[in-house]
Chains A and B, each alone.
Chain A
């Protein structure tokens, strides 16, 4: 799994950086954002499986995926902010729609933890978390649409943020970077899941002994 990340690191040295640092951060920023979506989608899917098939363990998997998703979303905000600093000279721009969307999602999913940790562990908590995860996936496109609509009356002048068209080598690097981020997610996901499962087993054992 870490191999993917290593390939990406090599990938960063391959393309010509005509734009300097902000070109490099692009290869981080966009894959991280896509990975965050993937995390939230995966979390909602696991939540759905939990509600529909009562699949054991799906609740924990959903939680871990969303936990990773929030980390990736925070990274998206940070890298996007750095990118904005170099591209537009400002740390935060409301006209950057993707970043605003991530801010909304970050707020929403941060509340997920408040919800989850103020309910006693058990089926109730699993159900609530799963429903919340599904809400999040519906909120993503709705918010995206809302932010596009809002920019019409907040910023009448459209902000074209499309940079230069990607060359083949850049696209390749982008894909490698995306693959690396996704595999990084799946590695972290498995790691955290394994840790949480060991935790649960330990607790069971302790209860049996004590």
Chain B
């Protein structure tokens, strides 16, 4: 089992190093989320209230994640790395887990900038929202990386990722917005945790079938 986690760590490290050298994804995500927040300022007429802003924050998070996820397997595809990884003598689900951890890191870094920016532009953010964002990120990255792996196997490529991902992300939005706007966020946390656990399990169990023939 320790070998499995070593594989996962190596794969995640590879992605982080690649990003550190090429700086492809993260700057784009940061610019995207900042621009989206500026757009929200103009999209919300005065008197809309801060609850609407909190709802839009979740839209921004999901779409920023989508932007990062659409790049998740591009390097692998262009250089045929995925075939090599599949042939490597390790469990295939390690590919998914490593990639999810890398995607989670990117998303978390983007949010470390985006959340204070949101607090600055709109309204303050309470601890409940931050906790909900952290919980939701896990689910978003787990499912998103899985769907990204599916979509690179198709002709439609990146086009398919949002089409499949958005219906799957509706429960995350519900849990996240619920936790941000209500006074008793407990059951929304529980729901997000349930979503994470459930979908992470089936992603982990069925990833092998996505990358092999």
Residues of A whose CB lies within 8 Å of any CB of B are 51, 104-105, 107-108, 111, 114-115, 118-119, 122-124, 127-128, 130-132, 134-135, 138-139, 142-143, 145-147, 149-150, 152-153
Contact = CB atoms under 8 A, between A and B. Distances in A.
B21 interface: no
Interface string B161-189: 00110111011001101100110000110
Interface in B144-166: 150-151, 153-156, 160, 163-164, 166
B210 interface: yes
Contact of B178 (A111, A138, A152): A152
Main secondary structure of the interface of A (DSSP, over half): helix
A135 B178 CA distance: 24
A97 to B, nearest CB: 12
A114 B168 contact: no
B209 interface: yes
Interface string B198-210: 1100100010011
B195 interface: yes
A111 B167 contact: yes
A123 B156 CA distance: 18
17 contacts: A108-B168, A114-B163, A114-B164, A115-B164, A128-B209, A128-B210, A131-B150, A139-B171, A143-B171, A146-B170, A147-B174, A149-B175, A149-B188, A150-B178, A152-B182, A153-B178, A153-B182
Contacts of A146: 170-171, 174-175, 191
Contacts of B191: 145-146, 149
Contacts of B154: 115, 118-119, 128
Nearest to A131: B206
B167 A108 contact: yes
A78 B190 CA distance: 34
Contacts of A149: 174-175, 178, 187-188, 191
Contacts of A115: 150-151, 154, 160, 164
Given A128-B210, A135-B202, A149-B188, A118 B178 contact: no
Contacts of A142: 171, 194-195, 198-199
Nearest to B206: A131
B126 interface: no
Given A51-B206, A119-B153, A146-B171, 6 more contacts: A107-B167, A108-B164, A132-B164, A134-B202, A146-B191, A149-B174
Given A118-B160, A119-B155, A138-B198, A127 B168 contact: no
Interface string B99-142: 00000000000000000000000000000000000000000000
Given A135-B202, A149-B175, A150-B174, A128 B153 contact: yes
Interface of B: 150-151, 153-156, 160, 163-164, 166-168, 170-171, 174-175, 177-178, 181-182, 187-188, 191, 194-195, 198-199, 202, 206, 209-210, 212-213
A147 B187 CA distance: 13
Contacts of A108: 164, 167-168
Of A51, A127, A130, most B-chain CB atoms within 10 Å: A127
A114 B160 contact: yes
B160 A111 contact: yes
B170 A104 contact: yes
Contacts of B209: 51, 127-128, 130-131
A122 B213 CA distance: 8
B177 to A, nearest CB: 7
A111 B164 contact: yes
A125 to B, nearest CB: 9
B160 A127 contact: no
Given A51-B206, A127-B213, A128-B153, A139 B167 contact: yes
